[in-house]
Amino acid sequence: MLVTLLEHPDATGAELAARLDVSQPTISNYAAQLDTAGLLSRPGYTVERPEQVLLLLVRYAESFGEDATDLAGIAPDLVEYDPESLDSSSR
């Protein structure tokens, strides 16, 4: 689900269900688990810390399957660096 959201950040629950070939309640369940883990914010489906999630997906792409491997190939195009978004405590 995270791979799909990184590729399609504006996807709705219905679109995610269709893309992943699962039911909407399954998407809701996965989203709740990812929210609890701090990887997704709701309402909506926004990946938290997408650069870190992408880094992990790239590093372990072969463990996640073909979609993650494909995403790893385009990862540099997905990462945006915005120094303005850094909080002052991390500088």
- Percent of the chain surpassing pLDDT 90: 30
As a whole number, mean pLDDT of residues 26-55 equals 87
User: What's the confidence (pLDDT) of residue 78?
Assistant: 65
Distance (Å, whole) CA 24 – CA 30: 10
Distance (Å, whole) CA 63 – CA 54: 14
Q: For residue 68, is it within any domain?
A: yes
87: pLDDT strictly greater than 70: no
48: pLDDT strictly greater than 70: yes
Angle subtended at Cα 57 by Cα 7 and Cα 69, rounded to the nearest 5 degrees: 70
CATH code for the domain in which residue 30 is found = 1.10.10
Q: What letter would DSSP give residue 10?
A: T
CB 17 within 8 A of CB 4: no
Which structural domain range is residue 45 located in?
Answer: 2-79
